[in-house]
Structure 1
């Protein structure tokens, strides 16, 4: 596995979703087309795990979260940027998805969830926001962001 091979693998997915609205119908379609029990999902998960192990994914670390943007929004990825994060029982920084966000959830610990979702896909529509949270262990999450758009927000200190 190399970054170029990884980009080609991701482009196989982004080609199929580039013209679709980011909504719950897309989440259902992704979970049907690339189910967590299927070979295509396993290939994507293995590629992410390999990239982390080889050091070309999640090459940065801050606040207990390993992360990295492997590709800016490119024509080859049909206008999606590609980020991968590695999280263990932690909530990440709050952010807004101006154009939406598509997440591939890869539990590394059996039962680990991302924002309450098990292995598979979740989709956030344009204008949504969250504090990404991995619970019940460790997980990798691959983020596809249309046009690479993300806006980190300042949160008020907890009272």
Structure 2
């Protein structure tokens, strides 16, 4: 899996969500149209697994979490940035999503859940905050952040 091919996969998804409110309706739509039983989900999941194995994805590590920004927000990604993290039974740093966050949850081992959610998509609205947590195993989580905006806090939520 090349970064260029992964970029195209993400650009295709970003084009379909661009301009839509980041809310429960988008969450439901993503899970219905691109959920775990679809070719889009399977392709993104395999691309992330391959990218990690090839070393160009999740190329940093801190606090027991492998992570990395794959792409900065760009026009061809409809102003979304792309980050991927690998977590196992751990809570990450608390942060706020000024413009919201779209997450793709990809369990790898066990019954891994992200913030209590199984495989699929999770949409956080603008102004929401959380301490991202993977429980029940190991998972990759892909984050789409409008304009790349994320604010890490000192809150313990």
Do these two structures clear the TM 0.5 threshold for a shared fold by scoring above it? yes
Q: Which residue pairs with 2:78 in the alignment? A: 78
Paired residue secondary structure (2:16): helix
Q: Which residue pairs with 1:98 in the alignment? A: 98
Equivalent-residue separation in structure 2 for 1:117 and 1:11 (angstroms): 24
| RMSD (CA atoms) | 1.1
Q: CA deviation at 1:76?
A: 1.2
Q: CA deviation at 1:110?
A: 3.4
Deviations for 1:3-62, whole angstroms, at most 9, x for unmatched residues?
Answer: 111011100000010110000000000001101011111001000000000000000000
TM-score relative to the length of structure 1: 0.97
Paired residue secondary structure (1:110): strand
Map 1:41-120 → 2, pairs under 5 A = 41-120=41-120
Q: Which residue pairs with 1:2 in the alignment? A: 2
Equivalent-residue separation in structure 2 for 1:23 and 1:109 (angstroms): 29
Q: Which residue pairs with 1:12 in the alignment? A: 12
Q: CA deviation at 1:84?
A: 0.1
Q: Which residue pairs with 2:25 in the alignment? A: 25
Equivalent-residue separation in structure 1 for 2:65 and 2:3 (angstroms): 21
Paired residue secondary structure (2:109): coil
Paired residue secondary structure (1:111): strand
Equivalent-residue separation in structure 2 for 1:6 and 1:149 (angstroms): 21
Q: Which residue pairs with 1:123 in the alignment? A: 123
Q: Which residue pairs with 1:35 in the alignment? A: 35
Provide runs of 4+ in structure 1 moved above 3 Å. none
Equivalent-residue separation in structure 2 for 1:155 and 1:14 (angstroms): 30
Point out the more displaced range, 104-113 or 115-124: 104-113
Equivalent-residue separation in structure 1 for 2:9 and 2:37 (angstroms): 18
Q: Which runs of 5+ in 2 are unaligned?
A: none
